[in-house]
Chain A
Amino acid sequence: MYKNFLRYLISAIFLLGLNVSANAEFKVGFVYVGPTGDHGWTYQHHEGRNAVEAAGIKTTFVESVPEGADAERVIRQLAQSGHDLIFTTSFGYMDPTNKVAKEFPNVKFEHATGYKREHSNVSTYSARFYEGRTLLGHIAGKMTKTNTIGYIASFPIPEVIRGINAMTLAAQKVNPEIKTKIVWVFTWYDPGKEAEAAQALIDQGADIIMQHTDSTAPVQTAEKAGVWSFGQASDMQRFAPKSILTSIIDDWAPYYVERAIAARDGTWGQQDTWHGLNEGMVAMAPYNSAMGADLVKEVEQLQKDLASGKAHSFTGPIYDQKGNILVAEGKVADDGMLAGMSVYVKGVEGDIPK
Chain B
Amino acid sequence: MIKIEKRNDVPITLYFFTPFIAIILTILGGGIIFYILGFNPIEALKFFFITPISNLYGFSELLLKATPLCLIAIGLSFCFKSNNWNIGAEGQLTFGAIVGGGVALLFYNQEGFYILPLVILAGAFGGMIFALIPAILKTYFNTNEILVSLMLVYVSKLLLDYLVVGPWSNPEGFNFPETRQFSDSSRMPQLFEGLRIHAGIFLALAAVIISWFILYKTYLGFQIKVSGLSLKTAKYAGFKGKTMILVVFMISGASAGLAGVGEITGPIGQLHRMISPDYGFTAIIVAFLGRLNPFGIIFASLVVALTYLGAETAQIFLQIPKYTGQVFQGMILFFLLASDYLLFFKIKILNLKKNELRH
Contacts and interface: CB of A to CB of B under 8 A. Distances in A.
Interface residues of A, number: 43
Contact of B194 (A11, A68, A72): A11
A340 B275 CA distance: 26
A103 B196 CA distance: 13
Interface in B181-236: 181, 192-196
A81 B55 CA distance: 13
Contact of B316 (A10, A62, A67, A158): A62
A72 B196 contact: yes
Interface in A128-159: 155-158
B267 interface: yes
A203 B267 CA distance: 44
B165 A156 contact: yes
Interface in B265-294: 266-269, 272, 274-277
A342 B315 contact: no
B56 A73 contact: no
B90 to A, nearest CB: 13
Contact of B319 (A8, A61, A155, A353): A61
B176 A18 contact: no
Interface in A36-91: 60-70, 72-74, 77-78, 81, 91
Interface in A173-190: 186
A19 B52 CA distance: 14
B109 interface: no
B161 interface: yes
A340 B64 CA distance: 37
Contacts of B192: 7, 10-11, 14
B175 A158 contact: yes
A94 B194 CA distance: 19
B62 to A, nearest CB: 10
Nearest to B193: A11
B105 to A, nearest CB: 17
A1 interface: no
Contacts of B196: 69, 72-73
Nearest to A22: B317
Given A13-B56, A17-B56, A342-B174, A67 B194 contact: no
Given A15-B194, A69-B263, A70-B308, A340 B274 contact: no
A237 to B, nearest CB: 27
A20 interface: yes
Contacts of B176: 91, 155, 157
B272 A155 contact: no
A92 interface: yes
Contact of A353 (B60, B165, B181, B315): B165
Contact of B193 (A8, A17, A77): A8
Contact of A77 (B56, B165, B266, B313): B313
Contacts of A73: 61, 196, 309, 312
Interface residues of B, number: 40
A62 B319 CA distance: 8
B308 to A, nearest CB: 7
B55 A68 contact: no
A7 B268 contact: no
A7 B194 CA distance: 11
Interface string B55-75: 111001100100000000000
A354 interface: yes
A63 B174 contact: no
A74 B175 contact: no
B161 A186 contact: yes
B193 A155 contact: no
Nearest to A67: B274
Nearest to A15: B194
A92 B269 CA distance: 13
Contacts of B323: 64
B312 A74 contact: yes
B138 interface: no
A200 B310 CA distance: 43
B18 to A, nearest CB: 30
Contacts of A60: 315-317, 319
Interface string B139-180: 000000000000000000000010001100000001111000
B274 A68 contact: yes
A8 B176 CA distance: 37
B165 A68 contact: no
A17 B266 CA distance: 23
Contacts of B269: 95
A66 B321 CA distance: 15
B306 to A, nearest CB: 13
Given A69-B268, A157-B174, A14 B263 contact: no
Nearest to B268: A69
Nearest to A60: B316
A11 B317 CA distance: 26
Contacts of A352: 175
Contacts of B195: 11, 14
Interface in B308-333: 308-309, 312-313, 315-317, 319, 321-323
Contacts of B165: 155-156, 186, 353
Given A11-B194, A20-B55, A92-B274, A68 B175 contact: no
A78 B267 contact: no
Contacts of B312: 62, 65, 70, 73-74, 77
B331 to A, nearest CB: 19
Interface of A: 7-8, 10-11, 13-15, 17-18, 20, 29, 60-70, 72-74, 77-78, 81, 91-92, 95, 103, 115, 155-158, 186, 340, 342, 352-354
5 contacts: A8-B193, A14-B195, A62-B312, A68-B267, A115-B174
Give 8 nearest A-B pairs by CB, closest first: A17-B55, A11-B193, A69-B267, A68-B274, A67-B274, A66-B277, A18-B57, A156-B175
Given A14-B195, A77-B316, 18 more contacts: A11-B192, A11-B194, A11-B195, A14-B57, A14-B192, A60-B316, A67-B274, A68-B275, A68-B277, A69-B196, A70-B277, A72-B196, A81-B317, A91-B176, A95-B269, A103-B194, A186-B161, A354-B166
